[in-house]
């Protein structure tokens, strides 16, 4: 079992930056591929960024490429999403997810999910 707890969300102005974090517990987190998803009101939960078990491979949604960076620190069992040049359309609840498979999936086929953290970008 893996427990995921997000933190770091909040209110930020457009063009600002924010870093959200995901603390994990349970089995060694290096055994899991991790990802961030977002869900805006009335919309489906969609893939934002993913990172391989060792952190050497990343994948991003086209909408965040060049602005967001996913990283992980397996020694601390942490996953991060650094969000720069934020836009109002980035407003959503951001969820951390983990899966035991090796591939970074852009679908919602992750076994473990956090409770989410709200990110609001004002114009």
Render pLDDT for 15-54 as a digit per residue (tens, 0 to 9): 999 999 999 987 788 999 999 999 999 999 999 999 999 9
pLDDT given for residue 72 in this prediction: 97
Neighbouring CB atoms inside 10 A of 52's CB total 16
Q: What is the DSSP string of 39-63?
A: E-TTS--EEEEEE-TTSS-EEE-TT
| % of the chain at pLDDT higher than 90 | 93
pLDDT given for residue 26 in this prediction: 74
Decide if pLDDT at 88 tops 80.
yes
Dihedral angle at the C-alpha atoms of 60, 62, 66, 71, nearest 10 degrees?
-10
pLDDT given for residue 29 in this prediction: 87
Please provide residue 89's backbone torsions phi and psi, each rounded to the nearest 5 degrees. Answer: -70, -5
Please provide residue 116's backbone torsions phi and psi, each rounded to the nearest 5 degrees. Answer: 95, 155
């Amino acid at each position: 079992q893996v427990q995921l707890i997000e933190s770091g969300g909040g209110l930020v102005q457009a063009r600002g930056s924010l870093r959200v974090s995901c603390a994990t517990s349970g089995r060694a987190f290096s055994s899991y591929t991790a990802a961030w998803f977002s869900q805006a009101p009335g919309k489906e939960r969609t893939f934002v960024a993913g990172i391989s078990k060792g952190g050497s491979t990343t994948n991003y949604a086209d909408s965040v490429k060049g602005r967001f960076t996913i990283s992980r620190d397996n020694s601390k069992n942490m996953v991060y999403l650094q969000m720069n040049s934020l836009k109002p359309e980035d407003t959503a609840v951001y969820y951390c997810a983990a899966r035991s498979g090796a591939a970074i999936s852009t679908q919602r086929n992750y076994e473990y999910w956090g409770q989410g953290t709200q990110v609001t970008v004002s114009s």
